[in-house]
Chains A and B, each alone.
Chain A
């Protein structure tokens, strides 16, 4: 191996891990993303592919809607009985030889992982892709503790080697095409382990082979692994990880110690309930009848796999989310990414513009809630997320657990507006605009006046019948910065109706 021994007290990864903190509000971040032609081409190609395949995989099941209804109901039942089910899970995992820990927030969870790892004497950990550990920025926390973290999912490894941020829940490097990936492998693999093979091309099988060789020595050496969990069965204590590459199996089987970080909402009550989610998830996520590998384990099995198992139950904003009767349905999410792949906004801006490990439609409702919008005002970037949608509803149609994302988006927009009203004595421009609209629409006479002046203004400002950019500040200029509109007609319908002798409510 080409790894320099270096200072044993310092991790190989001597640069801080990138963070989403500091991302500008969505409209600003989206403008930057939209200007990136390569990004839009990569995303357009990938999302078009997966959309078509998902539709075919779902169409194969005549009972898809029945599966969705069952999936949504099971998850709602979990939320309804959450305290009892968590206690049941704790008992069943403990009885099977595992250790259960509870973490109120990211700092507590990270400290537990670090303490367990230090106790083993290991200096590095291998990691299965997990949204919960991304959310708590575990890699940076462990780096500061002198522990190297090796991401082993192919896309996650591409992001880590590229000192980049994820842009998709399932395929975090979806914004990278194969030639960019080749360049990252050639430049970066040798710095942290086995270098990329000489003469590596951008053919996907070669890239997969490079990842296999690079990670194999890390898997064989690893003493500690960190994973997330797709599901955990309260009744039996069984934890489930769904994956494709086999990196998950490596991490869940080879090391002596396994640490699993799991959001408290990831439970299912019974073993039988898995029959619903093991059918919903693969078809929604990768458009397959079944993903290549699913691992299930219950505590510790003597002589087979890790002999120490730690399960960390993470809150980190989930109880805040649970407190909102409309918003809590976001906790049904099984992280399949179907809503990202169909979203017209996501497809054009990519995931990084959302400033969170949870991008796309689900991120737009989950991130603000995890950041406590139900309890206190949130920062501008967070407050911008519920508006990152055209409310077209495609996300709800594909959601395997029927989260009504548009409903929650509108609900959260209301919360943002009310919080901003409470913050500002002087009404916002939007409030002024809606005040004027309300006054205008109150009587037909006022509306008629407005229509006549709109026709006049349109004639002055329109080009080829369209209103594009309207100069100047204020709400009107702001609205038009991202939109074009057909110019108002010279004559309103009601004015024309009167010239034809028609009678309207104006006359009353």
Chain B
């Protein structure tokens, strides 16, 4: 084992890899003949709403003027009295609700967050084909933990944030930012391979698609 001590694991592994590739396999061209966009005839907003609904999240459409009222009615329906908001959340989100806005500034402790009834965030991108919302910790989304501990997540999606496909979403996103891709509420397939909604993440996801 003397050589083991003399060579670092890093160099040893890299040497082993080079030796394993001694047959010099030919370089591989990567065929990218798969679809990267939805057909132009697809209504992205309608497709997004349909696909979010498939996950048993709730999803509704609203105009910018209607948004505060829609938020208020969702919070009331879920009996959410104290609701976390990212530091950069637009003030208007709370204009029509009685629920208390609990700002994450200064940052809330995990224990404090765990006691809240819900969270409202925006998103970075939404994907029509898969009904996915992507959060990247932008000002109206905040830290990752905000949309994790409370049991209700209300997510406001602007129409111009909806793209058709996964490739289009990745092209818009910044790899340097922490990301959470969310497709429906927390779920598991571990009980006899049947999907059950609601394990550790928020058990209720309410998406609002806002025009304009």
Contacts and interface: CB of A to CB of B under 8 A. Distances in A.
A62 B39 CA distance: 12
B46 interface: no
Interface residues of B, number: 75
Interface in B158-212: 166-167, 170-171, 175-202
Nearest to B114: A220
B176 A249 contact: no
A368 to B, nearest CB: 16
Query: Which residue of B8, B13, B29, B145 has the most chain A CB atoms within 10 A of its CB atom?
Result: B13
B81 interface: no
Interface string B86-112: 000000000000000000000100110
Interface string B114-148: 10000000000001011110000100000111001
B194 A80 contact: no
Interface stretch (B17-25, B58-66, B67-75): B17-25
Contacts of B40: none
Interface string A291-305: 111111110010111
Given A154-B188, A244-B186, A244-B187, A296 B166 contact: no
**Most B CB within 10 A of own CB, among A246, A254, A274:** A246
A365 B128 CA distance: 38
A148 interface: no
B178 A86 contact: no
Interface residues of A, number: 95
Interface in A236-257: 236, 238, 244-247, 249-250, 253-254
Interface string A203-217: 011011101100110
Interface string B23-34: 101011111111
Interface in B3-19: 4, 8-10, 12-14, 16-19
Nearest to A105: B9
From B17, B132, B176, B189, name the one whose CB has the most chain A CB atoms within 10 angstroms: B189
A437 interface: no
B198 to A, nearest CB: 6
B13 A315 contact: yes
A286 B55 CA distance: 13
Nearest to B185: A292
Nearest to A286: B189
Given A76-B28, A249-B148, A290 B130 contact: yes
Contacts of A303: 107, 143
Interface centre among B20, B183, B186, B199 (most CB of A within 10 A): B199
A322 B15 CA distance: 12
B186 A108 contact: no
B111 to A, nearest CB: 7
Contacts of A42: 192
Given A249-B148, A290-B132, A181 B20 contact: no
Main SS at interface, chain A: helix
17 contacts: A73-B30, A86-B17, A104-B12, A104-B13, A152-B200, A154-B188, A205-B197, A208-B198, A211-B200, A236-B176, A244-B187, A244-B188, A289-B131, A295-B178, A296-B175, A319-B19, A322-B20
Given A276-B34, A298-B178, A301-B137, A102 B196 contact: no
A246 B14 contact: no
A332 to B, nearest CB: 11
A507 to B, nearest CB: 50
Contacts of A177: 192
Interface in A169-209: 170-171, 173-174, 177-178, 181, 204-205, 207-209
Given A204-B191, A297-B178, A305-B178, A249 B200 contact: yes
Interface in A68-87: 69-70, 73-74, 76-77, 79-80, 82-83, 86-87
B200 A253 contact: no
A83 B18 CA distance: 7
Given A83-B14, A298-B178, A328-B20, 11 more contacts: A47-B193, A79-B25, A204-B191, A208-B198, A245-B188, A288-B195, A289-B129, A294-B181, A304-B145, A320-B20, A322-B21
Contacts of B51: 289
A176 B8 CA distance: 44
A178 B17 contact: no
A49 interface: yes
Contacts of A254: 110, 145
Contacts of B19: 319, 323
A174 B191 CA distance: 8
B20 A291 contact: no
Contacts of B200: 152, 211-212, 215-216, 219, 245-247, 249-250
A391 B41 CA distance: 44
Contacts of B179: 294-297
Contacts of A333: none
Contacts of A276: 34
B48 to A, nearest CB: 12
A294 B180 contact: yes
A66 B184 CA distance: 27
Given A250-B200, A271-B170, A305-B144, A291 B28 contact: no
A211 B199 contact: yes
B110 A77 contact: no
Contacts of A158: 190
B9 A102 contact: yes
A45 interface: yes
A103 interface: yes
A116 interface: no
Nearest to B180: A295
Contacts of A274: 170
B183 A290 contact: yes
A136 interface: no
B96 to A, nearest CB: 29
Contacts of A292: 55, 182-187, 201
